[in-house]
Structure 1
Amino acid sequence: MKKISKSYFLNFVLIFGLTLFALWFALKDHYREVMNSLAQVRWYWFIIIIAWGIFYTVVIGLILTLLAREYKKNYTIKEGLVNGFVGAFFSGITPSATGGQFAQAYIFKKQGIKVSDGASLLYADFIIYQTTMIAYVTILFLLRFSYYYQTVSQFFIFILFGYFFNSSIIVLLWTMAKFPKVYIKLSTWAVKLLHKIHIIKDEQRTLEGWSIQLNAFTTEIKQLKDKKKLIFKAVLLNVLRLTVWFTLPYAVAVAIGVDMHLSMLLDVVAMSAFVSMANAFIPVPGASGGTELVFTWIFSATMMSAMQASSVMILWRFSTYHLILLIGGAVFLFAKRKYDHQKFVTEGEHI
């Protein structure tokens, strides 16, 4: 427990340090101009921007609610929202968002869903989201590929690598489901090799764990094929989720007074998507530091000045990351206290 707490503390320190560096980089050439720009934003815009960022995580909660009801019919939207914010919190404080699904599986268990079922629906959530995201970005590429290539040519190699990296995950997942025996053989060979060079200690336990996970994953894929209505609803919600995420910079730009036309909305969506693609190579918690820099570089190279891009980035990042960390952390503490109390009461009744 102490090791985990220490790890989270170090992650918070890393997030704080990288965020400070990104802010310094964004403000070093035009600190006063950015501060003046932010000071002129009307109060109602702050409310809209904050609500916009929160709504993104609310949609995640709705998706989890939809999927969870396949295993627990009376699963409530409130429970889904709790899980959505807890997942966002742990994804934000762990490298490459690795802690999010573990935390969500824990919350699902506390909410009355078996660990195996929780893992299955999280697999389904990830597969549907990842597939939808790649399809979404592919459409953006096809619409104006040559224009985007010329506009952000200096960053396009990273964007393409991010796109192919995320696409390869989908290909890997679907081939794992199609040829599970091949992946079991490959994983067995890899685990034995890692055991020989003393990276993995318990070879048998690791292999058993991998087999259980792979079987759960392939089972979920097979079940998903027969749930077309569920998939359709989940895809629609994920399209909404991505659209909310990618359009927020447009609203922030309008709020700070950037001359934005409605015809530029598609380009803003594309640039926001490209930031997400490039983030695939930033393994630190919350992609801190790198996200802010990539966002500022891409938007200042395309549709606004560096000062305006820095101003937009500060409000956008606060709404979609820092604020969600605060809310998610508070929700987790409240939920943990509630579920621990319920466990205590239940155990007391059996004494």
Structure 2
Amino acid sequence: MSRKSIWSTLVMLIIGVSVFAFEMRNTNMHTLWQQALKIDVFWLIIAFLTMLLSFFCEALVLKVLLQGRKDEMKHWWNILRIPWIQALFNAITPFSSGGQPAQLVALTQSGVEIGRGSSVLLLKFIIYQTIVLVNFIVAMIFQFSNVMQHFAGLAVLIVGGFIIHVFTIGLLLMIMFYYRFTRGLVLGFMRCLTFFIRTPKAQTWIDRVANKIDSFYRESLVLKQEKRKVIIASMLTFMQLLFYYLVVYFTLLALHVNHVNMIDVLIMQIMIVMITSIFPVPGGTGGAEYSFKALFSQYISSSSKLVLGMFIWRFITYYLGMLLGIVAIAFKPINERTRRLTSARRKNYK
């Protein structure tokens, strides 16, 4: 882990502590401690296990997309550590921009060819964004009145998150199905940077974007012929998100808030994901806590219990990923490409 990443992690931890300190400024600490002692440990453990299952489903998505290729990952440690690393770098970079590059480095360390790894990660990303968007649309269709009743005050933030998701998915789909037009459009826009940035630096960015577009398109041609993989990966991504959404429900049960409807809670969590996607602060810090407080205060009347629930939910869905990411970086992967080459040489020698 680089020194810059260590500092970023420490800064985000300090910011997170500051946010909770601000939220607790009017909270009676004795009451908070009493609420903590009453937590239902069974449901708390279920909440943790649910988040771990979410990470596991995400790892399976990568395994499926790489299956049958010469650089397929077979060692479970190599596969499981990728989502944890993504969680860490998503948590410490604005707009979660560091997760993709960090995953690519982790895949390369495991022996996956960099071009293929980059393309597979892009496809994984578009599947994820699509399922998030589909979940949102389904929630709006079947629970429109409920959404408008509870989320009217956050409508601008929800619409902003929706627009960002649509734009991202639209751009990637255009690369897949309208490659030449999209490539020319994006690179034309990138060339406008030469008016504001020195030409060598701007050209480096243009070349990098062109390579990513080309790589993603080449991989998409292969994956278009492997619809079964895409369908399985989409189903696993749905399960990944479902487990993630359920963490807050089990957190509420751990706090003995038993009168909540699971569907309503799932819809609220879907809205929180939409809202936090527009916050440039790493991990949506501040926005996530504000959304939780605004949406779940209708179920939790006690301010101390609300703060406790917010802390538990945020730790499981955010800080747990950071801790697991640090573990994943501390223990190096097995380079499967090197191992395969070594094994092949031994066979040839014999």
Tell me, yes or no, whether TM beats 0.5: yes
Cα distance in 2 for partners of 1:244, 1:45 equals 14
Indicate the residue corresponding to 1:69 in structure 2: 67
Structure 2 matches for 1:261-276, cutoff 5 A? 261=260, 264-276=261-273
CA 31–19 in structure 1, closer or farther in 2 if over 3 Å, else same? farther
Q: Contact between 1:64 and 1:84, CA under 8 Å: does it hold in 2?
A: no
Once the two structures are superposed, residues 128-158 of structure 1 have per-residue CA deviations (whole angstroms, 9 ceiling, x without a partner) of 1111111111111111112211222111221
Indicate the residue corresponding to 1:172 in structure 2: 171
Cα distance in 2 for partners of 1:199, 1:92 equals 31
Gaps of 5+ in 2: 346-350
Cα distance in 2 for partners of 1:160, 1:197 equals 31
Match for residue 326 of structure 1 among 323, 328, 347: 323
Moved more, 177-186 or 198-207: 198-207
CA 330–125 in structure 1, closer or farther in 2 if over 3 Å, else same? same
Matched residue type, 1:238: T
CA drift of 1:203 comes to 3.7
Indicate the residue corresponding to 2:257 in structure 1: 258
CA 253–226 in structure 1, closer or farther in 2 if over 3 Å, else same? same
Cα distance in 2 for partners of 1:74, 1:121 equals 13
Indicate the residue corresponding to 1:14 in structure 2: 11
Cα distance in 2 for partners of 1:74, 1:173 equals 25
Moved more, 54-63 or 306-315: 306-315
CA drift of 1:62 comes to 1.4
Helix, strand or coil: the match of 1:152? helix
CA 103–200 in structure 1, closer or farther in 2 if over 3 Å, else same? farther
Cα distance in 2 for partners of 1:242, 1:236 equals 10
Indicate the residue corresponding to 1:136 in structure 2: 135
Structure 2 matches for 1:1-351, cutoff 5 A? 5-6=3-4, 8-32=5-29, 33-71=31-69, 72-73=71-72, 75-198=74-197, 201-261=200-260, 264-300=261-297, 302-305=298-301, 307=303, 308-335=305-332
Matched residue type, 1:59: C
Cα distance in 2 for partners of 1:198, 1:73 equals 40
Cα distance in 1 for partners of 2:175, 2:243 equals 31
Helix, strand or coil: the match of 1:303? coil
CA drift of 1:259 comes to 3.0
CA drift of 1:290 comes to 2.1
CA drift of 1:199 comes to 5.8
Once the two structures are superposed, residues 50-84 of structure 1 have per-residue CA deviations (whole angstroms, 9 ceiling, x without a partner) of 22222221221111111122423462333210222
Matched residue type, 1:142: I
TM-score, structure 1 normalization: 0.88
CA 75–159 in structure 1, closer or farther in 2 if over 3 Å, else same? same
Aligned residues: 337
Cα distance in 2 for partners of 1:118, 1:36 equals 49
Cα distance in 2 for partners of 1:145, 1:217 equals 36
Cα distance in 1 for partners of 2:77, 2:10 equals 31
CA drift of 1:273 comes to 0.8
Q: Contact between 1:85 and 1:324, CA under 8 Å: does it hold in 2?
A: yes
TM-score, structure 2 normalization: 0.88
CA drift of 1:126 comes to 0.7
Q: Contact between 2:62 and 2:79, CA under 8 Å: does it hold in 1?
A: yes
Q: Contact between 2:65 and 2:230, CA under 8 Å: does it hold in 1?
A: no
CA 275–200 in structure 1, closer or farther in 2 if over 3 Å, else same? farther
Once the two structures are superposed, residues 76-116 of structure 1 have per-residue CA deviations (whole angstroms, 9 ceiling, x without a partner) of 33321022212222222222211111121112112121001
Q: Contact between 1:65 and 1:77, CA under 8 Å: does it hold in 2?
A: no
CA RMSD of aligned residues (A): 2.5
Matched residue type, 2:76: I
